[in-house]
Chains A and B, each alone.
Chain A
Amino acid sequence: MAVLAERMQQRWPMRDWKAHAGMGLLYLLLTVWSLDMRLEEPPVPMVWPATGVLLAYVYHYGYRLAISGALFGVLAQFQLGAGPMDALVLGAAGGAAAMAGARLLRATDFGPRLQRIRDVLLLLAVGALASALISAVLGGLVLAGLSSRLPEVFGLCLLADFMGMLILSPVLMTMLRRPRGDFSLNPEGWALLLLAPGIALAVYSLGLPFMMTLPASYALFPVLMYAAIRQPPWLVALLTLLVAGVALHCTALGGGPFAQSGMRHDLLSMHAQVAMLALTGLLLAALRAERQAAENAARQHLSNLARAGRLNAMSTLAAGIAHEVNQPLCAVNSYAQAARRMVERDEGGQPLREALDRIVSGTERASDIVRRTRGYLREESAQHQPQQLNALIEEALALLGPELRRQQVTLKLDLAPGLPTVLASGIELHQVVVNLVQNAVEAMGVSRSPEQRWVGVQTRLSAGGDAICLRVSDNGPGLPPGDRRALFEPLFGSRPQGTGMGLCIVRSIVDAHHGRLEANNLPGAGACFHIRLPVTGEALDG
């Protein structure tokens, strides 16, 4: 029985009863509100929000909402004094309009979060327009019949429907899409939520002189633009709705700069401003969201690229690292076998203890190397934290050690003690050092005898004390003449085995750390790369 009851509840139309109820409540409240804006003749409200509400709910919850929407429409029209037949047609017209608009939007790649210009345009030019057309044609026919007034009534209905859509469907679309209850705002959001309707009330309801209120009404544009740039689209849509609601309502009641010569004329002027306000906010918010999405994609792309670069570097370093792990293993192996012989001979005491101690320290050394390697390859978001640059450099050089020895390159390390920290991602700065040193080693590969191969790594505090300078220099053939900036372009690489991304990745990382990267040739030696990283301003240590 309980199962049956549950099944019954899930059956249409019991499912989503909250959505049905919410929509009905909004529908009725807004319809009552719109009555204040109804013209004497023809009896058409200048804003008809019901269609916008239906479109958003039907799009979000599905077509079955259109049926209850139509029922609410019939109820509302009946209460407003329409004949039963008229009420029936008008209600059905609202449902059909919402269904058609939602159907069209679903056929496109419309995104209800309105985070692309495309979404805003689709909503207004496809969904809202189709919905408004259907609603207006049927509404016009009911109100005016096939008389000479049909075009006028049709035009007014179309305008009222479209305005309702413009101010209501964006806010409902974006807010219904939010995860339940997630309408948290930062203080700035709350301030805007008070400020924008506040300005609207001041302009439209305080009865200030026309000379002041007309210019003041335009003050809402910068407020809304600011919100569009800083706040999520749903808040922008909500602000638009509140401002438009205040402005339209007050104008209909005869307040504000647009209330001059009768409701029809006043509200038409008001509509123009509201429409521009809404479009400005929605398009700007979408533009901002698009730019943010592009930036995120670029950042993700860079992070993938950097990881590919690390994998690439690691493949070159792999032989050296294998050797580096093998050494302690070899030592551990020898001690263990010596210890076994001692135990077999029943020897013990100090020598056995020493062997065991050395086994422990050898395994620690090996696992250190493994941890370092894994740390270099891990795929973590590059969090910026205060870091000791010198420590990062030493870690990276430890990774490069075997390769330097194999290539018989001397390391000239000159790290200034007691440097302040830099705000950085450790894993990314590792990569900068690895890439630059690897480049230097490879540049010298053939052109210098082993005694002449060196790589210099130097850190210094800048003269002003506000930055750390890292220099990586070598004794190779130096940089080719020509445009130094081209060095850091993708695919510049001159080495046949390189990916051409090494220096490009270095530059991107340095940029992301608000640093500067320069390259030149040292007199009497090879290339030199300078990196300047701003310090965090935390206290010096050591």
Chain B
Amino acid sequence: MAEQARVYLVDDDDDVRDAVSFLLRSEGLAVDAFATPDALLAAVAPDSAGCLVLDVRLPGMDGLELQGALRARGVHMPIIFITGHGDIPMAVRAVNAGAMDFLEKPFRDQHLLNQIHKALAADAAARNEDARRLDVERRLQSLTPREREVMERMLEGKLNKVIAWELDVSIRTVEVHRARVLEKLNARNSSEMVRAVLSTEAYRSWLL
């Protein structure tokens, strides 16, 4: 894990920002609070871990625009929008665009904390998933061309003897390659290997 998970809070109202930070800190969460979207954008990177709590009405940029700017910079942390009076339509659009939830001010503390914990868990899970995928991609690089040919035919669900016939090798040779593929990709069986490989960028299209 690159960084410790934090809650990134953006609200232009000093009182609200202080209050929400206070609440979250008193619950033992690490909080970074910002008054403007620009300050937030300067502070986060794709490997920042945690979640975002954003006011939908911000100076210079509305919540939707900020959401787009974050995605464009490769920041995929879950977003919880908080909204004042009358911003519901914008919040709905934000959720449609991928935000996790929106809360109307003033909100119940338990609800906010639940959503934040859910968001942190989702972010951690996504980061684990990413780490696994990167691991598989690294392992794929270590396959020889022949092993890759065998592996791709395994993805297509072909039997050993069909692979042997197609590659014009003996069934015994295919079995050796197959064992090497499973070993290199750290899979116990072929179905586990298939699932891992199909999760990578290179083979995602094979799903179709």
Chain A residues within 8 Å of B, Cβ to Cβ:
319, 322-323, 326-335, 337-338, 341-342, 351, 354-355, 358, 361-362, 365, 405-406, 408, 450
Report B-chain residues with C-beta under 8 Å of the C-beta of A450. Answer: 60
Q: Among A328, A329, A338, A365, point to the contact of B22 (Cβ < 8 A).
A: A338
Report A-chain residues with C-beta under 8 Å of the C-beta of B38. Answer: none
| Docked pose: A335 CA to B19 CA in angstroms | 6
| Docked pose: A176 CA to B126 CA in angstroms | 94
| Docked pose: A487 CA to B157 CA in angstroms | 81
Report B-chain residues with C-beta under 8 Å of the C-beta of A327. Answer: 13, 15-16, 84, 105
Q: How far is the CB of B83 from chain A (nearest CB, A)?
A: 10
Mask: chain B, 97-124; 1 = CB below 8 Å from A; 0 = not: 0000000011111000000000000000
- CB <8 Å contact, B23 and A338: yes
Q: Does B127 make an interface contact (CB < 8 A)?
A: no
Q: Does B18 make an interface contact (CB < 8 A)?
A: yes
Q: Among B16, B20, B26, B106, point to the contact of A342 (Cβ < 8 A).
A: B26
List B residues 33-69 near A (Cβ within 8 Å). Answer: 57, 59-60
Knowing A322-B86, A327-B84, A341-B27, say if A354 contacts B106 (CB, 8 Å). Answer: no
- CB <8 Å contact, B85 and A334: no
Apart from A330-B107, A331-B16, 16 more pairs, CB < 8 Å? A327-B16, A327-B105, A328-B15, A330-B105, A331-B15, A331-B20, A332-B19, A334-B16, A334-B109, A341-B27, A351-B22, A354-B22, A358-B18, A365-B15, A406-B57, A408-B59
In the complex, 24 of the A-B residue pairs with CB atoms within 8 angstroms, ordered by the A residue number, are: A319-B85, A322-B85, A323-B85, A323-B86, A326-B105, A326-B106, A327-B15, A327-B16, A329-B106, A330-B84, A330-B105, A334-B16, A334-B20, A334-B106, A338-B19, A338-B22, A338-B109, A354-B22, A358-B15, A358-B18, A362-B15, A362-B19, A365-B15, A405-B57
| Docked pose: A68 CA to B200 CA in angstroms | 119
Q: How far is the CB of A278 from chain B (nearest CB, A)?
A: 69
- CB <8 Å contact, A331 and B60: no
Tally of chain B residues near chain A (CB < 8 A): 21
- CB <8 Å contact, A326 and B19: no
- CB <8 Å contact, B22 and A358: yes
Q: How far is the CB of A241 from chain B (nearest CB, A)?
A: 69
| Docked pose: A355 CA to B108 CA in angstroms | 16
Q: How far is the CB of A472 from chain B (nearest CB, A)?
A: 23
- CB <8 Å contact, B60 and A408: yes
| Docked pose: A337 CA to B107 CA in angstroms | 10
Q: Among A329, A341, A354, A355, point to the contact of B105 (Cβ < 8 A).
A: A329
List B residues 55-98 near A (Cβ within 8 Å). Answer: 57, 59-60, 84-86
| Docked pose: A26 CA to B15 CA in angstroms | 79
| Docked pose: A450 CA to B59 CA in angstroms | 11
- CB <8 Å contact, B19 and A331: yes
| Docked pose: A334 CA to B19 CA in angstroms | 6
- CB <8 Å contact, A337 and B85: no
Q: What's the A-B contact tally at a CB cutoff of 8 Å?
A: 78
| Docked pose: A418 CA to B156 CA in angstroms | 85
Q: How far is the CB of B109 from chain A (nearest CB, A)?
A: 4
**Most B Cβ at <10 Å: residue of A332, A334, A341, A405:** A334
Q: How far is the CB of A448 from chain B (nearest CB, A)?
A: 15
| Docked pose: A408 CA to B12 CA in angstroms | 14
Q: Among B59, B84, B86, B109, point to the contact of A337 (Cβ < 8 A).
A: B109
Report A-chain residues with C-beta under 8 Å of the C-beta of B15. Answer: 327-328, 331, 358, 361-362, 365
Report B-chain residues with C-beta under 8 Å of the C-beta of A408. Answer: 59-60
Report B-chain residues with C-beta under 8 Å of the C-beta of A322. Answer: 85-86
Report A-chain residues with C-beta under 8 Å of the C-beta of B109. Answer: 334, 337-338, 341
- CB <8 Å contact, A330 and B106: yes
User: What 5 pairs across the A-B complex have the smallest Cβ distances?
Assistant: A333-B106, A337-B109, A331-B19, A334-B19, A330-B105
Report B-chain residues with C-beta under 8 Å of the C-beta of A335. Answer: 19, 22-23
Knowing A342-B26, A405-B59, say if A331 contacts B18 (CB, 8 Å). Answer: yes
Q: How far is the CB of A366 from chain B (nearest CB, A)?
A: 10
| Docked pose: A331 CA to B57 CA in angstroms | 16
| Docked pose: A342 CA to B13 CA in angstroms | 24
- CB <8 Å contact, A355 and B16: no
Q: How far is the CB of A540 from chain B (nearest CB, A)?
A: 34
Q: How far is the CB of A363 from chain B (nearest CB, A)?
A: 11
- CB <8 Å contact, B84 and A326: yes
Q: How far is the CB of B101 from chain A (nearest CB, A)?
A: 16
Report A-chain residues with C-beta under 8 Å of the C-beta of B22. Answer: 334-335, 338, 351, 354-355, 358
Report A-chain residues with C-beta under 8 Å of the C-beta of B23. Answer: 334-335, 337-338
Mask: chain B, 8-30; 1 = CB below 8 Å from A; 0 = not: 00000101101110110011000
| Docked pose: A342 CA to B25 CA in angstroms | 12
Q: How far is the CB of B123 from chain A (nearest CB, A)?
A: 23
| Docked pose: A322 CA to B85 CA in angstroms | 7
| Docked pose: A450 CA to B23 CA in angstroms | 34
| Docked pose: A335 CA to B107 CA in angstroms | 12
| Docked pose: A323 CA to B16 CA in angstroms | 12
| Docked pose: A362 CA to B14 CA in angstroms | 11
Report B-chain residues with C-beta under 8 Å of the C-beta of A338. Answer: 19, 22-23, 26, 109
Report B-chain residues with C-beta under 8 Å of the C-beta of A355. Answer: 22
| Docked pose: A333 CA to B107 CA in angstroms | 8
Report B-chain residues with C-beta under 8 Å of the C-beta of A331. Answer: 13, 15-16, 18-20
| Docked pose: A282 CA to B22 CA in angstroms | 78
Q: Among B16, B27, B59, B60, point to the contact of A330 (Cβ < 8 A).
A: B16
**Most A Cβ at <10 Å: residue of B20, B27, B106, B107:** B106
Q: How far is the CB of B5 from chain A (nearest CB, A)?
A: 20
| Docked pose: A408 CA to B20 CA in angstroms | 25
| Docked pose: A54 CA to B107 CA in angstroms | 80
- CB <8 Å contact, A358 and B60: no
Report B-chain residues with C-beta under 8 Å of the C-beta of A354. Answer: 22
> Which partner residue on chain B sits nearest A341 by CB separation?
B26
Report A-chain residues with C-beta under 8 Å of the C-beta of B84. Answer: 323, 326-327, 330
Report B-chain residues with C-beta under 8 Å of the C-beta of A406. Answer: 57
